């Protein structure tokens, strides 16, 4: 592995690697202590969409120092920095929020992904603490929709010592996604990841999926889940990358998950991002979904856009991100 790739990988893995032996304290104690000491508690954001109630929680954030070549690998650095500066990003750093949706119905409490967990440092893994601060218990989670099996979406399903975090939950994952990761040799031939990055990613994902597999329920993108969630395939980021729409009383929100990781990729979808397992298909899917959301004036949620990741896709000469305006810090009525 060359030095640049090694640095990038260590950043993605978290800068403060902690051995599993040091992370063996009980789950609640560990999470609550971290929350208090590091000030990671934040209020939840409650959203009322017609007669559906959902929440957005933070699982923390990821930092990408020197974003190229992960971002925009073929774009000249001067052009890239020019676009960064137009977005008031004067340092060569991009942060990604980790925004997690929880949907509460009469019968179910559904988590959409589980964040990163504490496997790669303390800038992530805030989700459980924030859920508990909002009055939910980890035992009350009935279902978890896994949009795709990257570490920042499934890491929070198990602790560092392998304990299952949400013991009463069923895990719903697209068959295409599950089969890809659990195959003997997942195909990364259209990815720009290094051999080491690929293997690290596969090893971690297999570890988590093997731990939870008894309670996995497979679906196909296009299925309507929980009488509430219209799923849709958005392949490219991963083969079974699933986005979805929830609707009520004529209103809807589309959770586009990891179709774009930054407002910069909305304005420049063709730049591409090396997180996409099929780099070119990722660009195609991103462009198509941007146009659909723009044409339909679709309210969008994103896993990684700045907190809380809610807004619209607009267009002048290029697409751009328009965060929604809201005036009450803890509750939005859509």
For Zn ion, the binding residues (CB under 5 A) are 152, 258
Q: Least distance from C-beta 205 to Zn ion, angstroms?
A: 13
State which residue, 157 or 332, has the beta carbon closest to Zn ion: 157
The answer to whether 168 and 142 are in contact (CB under 8 A) is: yes
CB of residue 153 to Zn ion, shortest distance in Å = 6
Residue number with CB closer to Zn ion (152 or 276) = 152
E-strand spans in 29-179?
Answer: 45-49, 52-65, 93-104, 109-112, 143-146, 170-174
Cα 43 to Cα 26, 27, 273, 325, 330, distances in angstroms:
24, 21, 31, 18, 7
Q: Which is nearer to Zn ion, 152 or 177 (CB)?
A: 152
Nearest to 160 by CA among 292, 6, 24, 290: 24
For the bound state, the minimum distance from the C-beta of residue 257 to Zn ion, rounded and expressed in Å, comes to 7
The least distance separating Zn ion from the CB of residue 150, rounded to whole angstroms, comes to 5
Comparing CB distances to Zn ion, the nearer of 30 and 205 is: 205
- Cα-Cα-Cα-Cα dihedral sign, residues 106, 241, 261, 311: negative
Q: Which is nearer to Zn ion, 30 or 255 (CB)?
A: 255
Closest to 293 measured CA to CA, from 239, 234, 249, 333: 234
- The minimum distance between CB 201 and Zn ion, in angstroms, equals 12
Q: Is the CB of 59 or the CB of 258 nearer to Zn ion?
A: 258
Edge-to-edge strands of the sheet including 216-219? 216-219, 170-174, 143-146, 109-112, 93-104, 52-65, 45-49, 331-333
Q: Which is nearer to Zn ion, 258 or 278 (CB)?
A: 258
Residues 6+ apart with CB under 8 A from 56: 44, 45, 47, 99, 100, 101, 102, 301, 307, 308, 309, 310
Q: What is the distance between the alpha carbons of residues 324 and 299, in angstroms, rounded to a whole number?
A: 9
Q: How far is the CB of 180 from Zn ion (least distance, A)?
A: 16
The minimum distance between CB 38 and Zn ion, in angstroms, equals: 22
């Amino acid at each position: 592995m060359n030095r640049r790739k090694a640095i990038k990988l260590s950043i993605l893995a978290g800068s403060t690697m902690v051995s599993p032996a040091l992370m063996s304290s009980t789950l609640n104690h560990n999470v609550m202590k971290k929350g208090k000491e590091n000030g990671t508690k934040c209020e939840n954001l409650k959203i009322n969409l017609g007669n559906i109630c959902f929440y957005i929680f933070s699982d923390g954030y990821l930092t990408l120092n020197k974003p190229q070549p992960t971002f925009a690998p073929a774009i000249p650095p001067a052009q890239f920095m020019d676009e960064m500066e137009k977005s008031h990003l004067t340092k060569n750093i991009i942060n990604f929020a980790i925004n997690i949706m929880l949907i509460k119905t009469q019968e179910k409490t559904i988590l959409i992904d589980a964040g990163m967990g504490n496997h790669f440092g303390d800038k992530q893994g805030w989700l459980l603490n924030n859920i508990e601060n909002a009055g939910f218990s980890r035992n009350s989670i009935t279902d978890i929709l896994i949009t795709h099996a990257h570490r920042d979406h499934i890491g929070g399903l198990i602790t560092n010592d392998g304990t299952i975090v949400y013991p009463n939950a069923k895990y719903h994952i697209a068959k295409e996604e599950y089969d890809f990761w659990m195959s003997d040799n997942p195909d990364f031939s259209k990815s720009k990841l290094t051999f080491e990055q690929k293997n690290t990613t596969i090893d971690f994902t297999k570890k988590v999926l093997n731990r939870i597999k008894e309670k996995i329920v497979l679906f196909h993108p296009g299925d309507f889940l929980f009488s509430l969630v219209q799923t849709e395939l958005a392949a490219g980021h991963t083969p079974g990358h699933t986005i979805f729409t929830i609707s009520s009383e004529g209103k809807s929100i589309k959770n586009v998950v990891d179709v774009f990781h930054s407002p910069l990729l909305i304005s420049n979808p063709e730049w591409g991002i090396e997180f996409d397992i099929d780099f070119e298909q990722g660009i195609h899917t991103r462009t198509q979904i941007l146009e659909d959301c723009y044409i339909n004036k679709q309210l969008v949620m994103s896993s990684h856009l700045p907190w809380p990741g809610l807004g619209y896709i607009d267009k002048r000469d290029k697409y751009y991100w328009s965060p929604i305006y809201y005036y009450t810090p803890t509750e939005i009525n859509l």
